[in-house]
Chain A
Amino acid sequence: MQPGSAYALPGMGQDSSDEALMLRFRAGDADAFEVLYRRHKGPLYRYMRRQCGQDALVDELFQDVWTKLIQARERYRPTASFKTYLYHIARNRLVDHYRRQGAAPATQDAAETRLPARASDQPEQHAQTGQQVQQLLVLLEGLPAEQREAFLLREEAGLALADIASITGVGQETAKSRLRYALQRLREGLKEWL
């Protein structure tokens, strides 16, 4: 399900795009914000949760992002897609958090210690898919931060390479390479099941 297509209020009219909703919210329509929020809360929450690595912290950071969006609504201009705008705010909040904490995002070293046992080590095979998913998440957590970020922006936000490059502040080729390396690592980690 792509964000921007699912949630709409009855009687909302033809233009219920993210940008139109944000403009309506800027003009004082709280219902428009609710539609926006319901569209994007899940992907954004997972994007932040899988980058943050600390369950206790993610709620606070997630709320901060939306609060910043609410506070900055008067300055919103639909020059870029709303999703790009939203994930810009989210990324800046994460970077700010890392800077304050003096910590880097979760890395491969931390993740490797939590890798689940391989499926071949398990006596039951019926939970194979669940294990694959779990394995994928662990591998994802172990990716370098830039690669993980590129992967999440692609899979959660559904952003194009150009938007990923814009949000992460790199060239499009760099963004493309990061995404390619991320997928390569995941493939290698899951090769037993692929």
Chain B
Amino acid sequence: MAMKPEDDRIRELYRQARDEAPPAHLDHAILETARKATARRARAVSPFSGRWQVPAALAAVLVVAVLLVPLLEHEPVDSELQVPAPVVLEEPRPAAAPPPERRIPDKTEEEAPPAAQGLMDKRMPEKLMAPEQAVRQERMLRLIAPLAKPKAVARSKKRAADSRAEKHTDPGGNAAVGNLMSGLRGDTVEPPQQWLETISALLEAGEEARAGEELQAFLVQYPDYRLPPALLELQQRTRH
């Protein structure tokens, strides 16, 4: 648009009139409104809200899973599966060995809550464990202690302590027979066939008294199990 010289003069005059501005309180109010609006938005747009909520949750689950899976893989699911094979007995235990004490649960253990009692009964004979396994079982016992009767827990702890002390004083295996017998008397119920083989081995080794005791304990556990002829004879002799 073509401008005349007079128009320039008009514009110049108008520029001299451009001195009005909003009052300061209006400036303050408007700027405050803007600051409040942005502050509200900053609160609303947190890292875990809006469109990031679902991805953040998924990422958190993934991280937890990645961290936990290796730990679970290293944690033994059932320590009984890791029991080392029993050593072959060279030296038989004397006949005066203590009688089986745990085949028939005592009154204290029977009174324990079923869940805790189950855990107590499933624990491994410490003498058959590697040291780290014994430590792990002891930790487990501490965990279930509030649920079990104090007497049973104390006995388990004592057995664990005895086991460690015996390993220090008799690492050569002089107590191997005792260990095996303790294992047999332990809380773990052996499969019947394996148990009978052990009794037969005792019988063949001349430990008839021990074999008889074990057979009686076996019959308490498996009263209807069909015995082999040799053990039937032992049963007859034991009765007499």
Residues on B with beta carbons closer than 8 Å to the beta carbon of A29: 38
B-side interface size class: 20 to 34
Nearest residue, chain B, Cβ from A38: B27
Would you call A81 an interface residue if the criterion is a C-beta within 8 Å of the partner chain's C-beta atoms? no
Residues on A with beta carbons closer than 8 Å to the beta carbon of B41: 28
Contact A41 B21 (CB under 8 A): yes
Would you call B239 an interface residue if the criterion is a C-beta within 8 Å of the partner chain's C-beta atoms? no
Nearest residue, chain B, Cβ from A29: B38
A187 and B7 contact, Cβ closer than 8 Å, known pairs A37-B30, A70-B34: yes
A-side interface size class: 35 or more
B1's contact among A43, A62, A132, A161, by CB below 8 Å, is which?
A161
A156 and B4 contact, Cβ closer than 8 Å, known pairs A183-B10, A186-B10: no
Contact B1 A59 (CB under 8 A): no
Would you call B132 an interface residue if the criterion is a C-beta within 8 Å of the partner chain's C-beta atoms? no
Would you call B98 an interface residue if the criterion is a C-beta within 8 Å of the partner chain's C-beta atoms? no
Would you call A85 an interface residue if the criterion is a C-beta within 8 Å of the partner chain's C-beta atoms? no
**Cα–Cα distance between A172 and B39 once the two chains are bound (Å):** 41
Residues on B with beta carbons closer than 8 Å to the beta carbon of A104: none
A190 and B26 contact, Cβ closer than 8 Å, known pairs A28-B38, A161-B1: no
Contact A183 B7 (CB under 8 A): yes
A28 and B42 contact, Cβ closer than 8 Å, known pairs A34-B34, A59-B26, A63-B30: yes
A155 and B14 contact, Cβ closer than 8 Å, known pairs A30-B38, A33-B31, A59-B26: yes
**Cα–Cα distance between A83 and B33 once the two chains are bound (Å):** 20
Residues on B with beta carbons closer than 8 Å to the beta carbon of A49: 20
Instruction: Please report whether the interface of chain A is mostly helix, strand, loop or mixed according to DSSP.
Output: helix
Contact A67 B13 (CB under 8 A): no
Would you call B194 an interface residue if the criterion is a C-beta within 8 Å of the partner chain's C-beta atoms? no
Contact A37 B31 (CB under 8 A): yes
Nearest residue, chain B, Cβ from A182: B10
Would you call A179 an interface residue if the criterion is a C-beta within 8 Å of the partner chain's C-beta atoms? yes
Residues on B with beta carbons closer than 8 Å to the beta carbon of A132: 13
Residues on B with beta carbons closer than 8 Å to the beta carbon of A190: 6, 9-10, 13
Residues on A with beta carbons closer than 8 Å to the beta carbon of B23: 59
Distance in Å from the Cβ of A166 to the closest Cβ of chain B? 16
Would you call B22 an interface residue if the criterion is a C-beta within 8 Å of the partner chain's C-beta atoms? yes
- 1/0 per position for B157-180, CB-CB distance to A under 8 A? 000000000000000000000000
Contact B34 A133 (CB under 8 A): no
Distance in Å from the Cβ of A95 to the closest Cβ of chain B? 21
Would you call A71 an interface residue if the criterion is a C-beta within 8 Å of the partner chain's C-beta atoms? yes
Residue picked from A28, A73, A161, most chain B C-beta under 10 Å: A28
**Cα–Cα distance between A183 and B39 once the two chains are bound (Å):** 46
Contact B16 A42 (CB under 8 A): no
Contact B26 A187 (CB under 8 A): no
Nearest residue, chain B, Cβ from A186: B10
Would you call A76 an interface residue if the criterion is a C-beta within 8 Å of the partner chain's C-beta atoms? no
Would you call B35 an interface residue if the criterion is a C-beta within 8 Å of the partner chain's C-beta atoms? yes
**Cα–Cα distance between A33 and B13 once the two chains are bound (Å):** 31
A129's contact among B16, B21, B42, B45, by CB below 8 Å, is which?
B16
A155 and B30 contact, Cβ closer than 8 Å, known pairs A29-B38, A42-B21, A46-B18: no
**Cα–Cα distance between A180 and B4 once the two chains are bound (Å):** 10
Residues on B with beta carbons closer than 8 Å to the beta carbon of A73: 37
Distance in Å from the Cβ of B184 to the closest Cβ of chain A? 75
Would you call B11 an interface residue if the criterion is a C-beta within 8 Å of the partner chain's C-beta atoms? yes
3 A-B pairs closest in CB distance: A33-B34, A30-B38, A66-B30
Identify the B interface with A (CB < 8 A): 1, 4, 6-7, 9-11, 13-18, 20-23, 26-27, 29-31, 33-35, 37-39, 41-42, 45
User: Can you offer 13 A-B residue contacts whose CB atoms are under 8 A?
Assistant: A25-B38, A28-B45, A37-B27, A37-B30, A46-B20, A49-B20, A66-B34, A132-B13, A133-B14, A136-B10, A136-B13, A140-B14, A179-B1
Identify the A interface with B (CB < 8 A): 25, 28-30, 33-34, 37, 41-43, 45-46, 49, 59, 62-63, 66-67, 70-71, 73, 129, 132-133, 136-137, 140, 155-156, 161, 176, 179-180, 183, 186-187, 190, 194
